[in-house]
Structures are given as structure tokens and as C-alpha cells.
Amino acid sequence: MKKKAKNSLAIFENYSVRRKWNEKKEKWYFSVIDIVAVLAQNKRPRKYWDDLKRRLKLEGSELSEKIGQLKLVSKDGKRYFTDVLDVEGVLRLIQSIPSKKAEPFKLWLAKVGKERIDEIADPELAVNRAKEIYEKKGYPKDWVEKRMRGIAVRNSLTDEWKERNIKKGYEFGILTNEIYKNTFDEDYKSLMKIKNLDKKNNDNLRDHMGDIELILTMLAEASSTDISRSKNSKGLEEVKTDVKKGGKIAGDARKKIEKETKRKVVTRGNFKRLSSQKNLK
């Protein structure tokens, strides 16, 4: 399975079901343990699944051959290898577990299994779904609008980088770090530390930025995009010069704000702290 995949969380009634999208195969993979917890209504779903898996293997079931493993985020915030199945495999699993939840779960599975295909055909659906997720997490609506706009600006920038022969991954990271350094006088690692975030826990830096931080990041990235277009820059070194200039534009604005308000723009702590201090509103 392709390692680089989109993570997501789907909700069936009051149960969370972890899933991961495989871009190459264009299909969802679902956590087996989460599904067993739903269907078996068992307080020990892991033991239930271990016993069932052994039985299926002894019976020579084709299902045992379809089980894969992917790293999914657990309750402790860390990522562990977890048994997963695609939609077809989940439907076969349902047949192996007597449950009154089987039929409603099949209907639910058909809906969530189709979501990513729908989003590819109509990207606006993905945007709307992302809004709903942020709002369910407790983010204010006005912050969510800024975050969505920031994602659009970021996508425009990265599309521009691809056109200018910037390699996705390492070189994207170098340029993004330059944007942060020139905008906030702090690099990515420093900003993560200030906000008490951990990449290992799948923490997203921008999900923990306040209003002004998001706006300044948008200003830096939009300016960088326009500068590269106007100069028709090519390659890492030329584009790096552009993003430094774009970051400086936003950095100068930040300094003026800090001079007037007598406080730092970069907020300390993660979203829970920001929310309690109403810094996101």
C-alpha cells in the first residue's frame, strides 16, 4: 500500500472509525478494530478480533489474505500499525460477525466509502467537509473561514512551485521554512515548540495559529506567488529569493502590529489554550 495517504476519521452513531485514503488505488482503508467495536458491541474488541482472525485463518477464509496494516493515530495521539481492510473486505468482515448493527453499518459504509470519489469530482465537497470537521472540533466559524482561505492560498503557491521545477517534499519544506522565518522570525521547529506541538502526533501548525498569524501567512504566500510569477523564477534558489521577499512583506506588517499592540503576534500554546483565551475570535 502506498504510505503517503490521506488520513480521516468517520463517525458511525457514537463510534469513531479511523480510515486512510490510498491515492494510488483510489480507495479507503478502514481500521478493523474500530469496526469490530461497532459490530460486536464488545468491551474488548482487540481480543474479539484476535480470536476471529485466528478462526478465519484456520478456516482458510479469503478475508485473512486481504488484511493489511497501516499506521493510524491511536487514542494516545501516537501512530501505530493497525489492521485495515478496504470496503470489500469490510463487507466480508460484516458477514463474519453476528450483529444488529450490520445493515445500518453497510449503508453508512457505502456513504463514507464514496466520499473521496465525490470529492475528486467536486472539490467543493472536500472544502465543505473540512469546514464541518473544524467546527465540530470547536473552532469559531470566522477562524474556519480564514483557515479555508489560507488553504486555497497555499494550494495556489504550491501549484506555482510545481510549475517552477520545485520538488515536492524536501524543497517544499525548505521554501515553507523560509516563509515562516521571514514572517515570524521563527522557523517551523521553533513555532511548533512555542505552541507545544509534536509532528509525531500529527499536529498541524496552522491549525493552531490565531487570526493574525493565519492572515500574515496568507500575505506571505500570496506575495511569494505574485513575485515568482512577475519574475518568472525557475528552480530552488530563484524561488527561495522570492519567498524571502514575500515573507519579509508579511514580516514587516507583523512588526508594525507588534509595535502598536505591544505584544507578540505568535500565540503560545495549542488550540485548546488559544480557544480558552479567545485569541481565535
Residue holding cell 515568482? Answer: 228
Residue 134: per-residue pLDDT: 85
Residue 115: per-residue pLDDT: 63
Residue 177: per-residue pLDDT: 96
DSSP state letter for 269: S
Question: Could you give the CA distance from residue 68 to residue 88 in angstroms, rounded to a whole number?
Answer: 13
Residue 280: per-residue pLDDT: 40
Q: What is the per-residue DSSP string for 36-103? A: HHHHH--S-HHHHHHHHHHHHHHTT-THHHH-EEEEEE-TTS-EEEEEEEEHHHHHHHHHHS--TTHH
Which residue from 15, 208, 220 is spatially nearest to 109, judged by alpha carbons? 15
Residue 112: per-residue pLDDT: 75
Which residue from 132, 277, 128, 126 is spatially nearest to 208, judged by alpha carbons? 277
Partners of 108 in the beta sheet?
Answer: none
Do 114 and 122 touch, CB atoms closer than 8 A?
no
Question: Could you give the CA distance from residue 193 to residue 190 in angstroms, rounded to a whole number?
Answer: 5
Do 247 and 173 touch, CB atoms closer than 8 A?
no
CA 106 to chain centre: 26
Q: What is the per-residue DSSP string for 204-234? A: -GGGG--HHHHHHHHHHHHHHHHHHHHHT--
C-alpha torsion sign, points 154, 159, 165, 169: positive
The angle at the Cα of 139, spanning 267 to 274, to the nearest 5 degrees, equals 25
Residue 26: per-residue pLDDT: 74
Q: Which residues of the chain have pLDDT under 50?
A: 1-5, 273-281
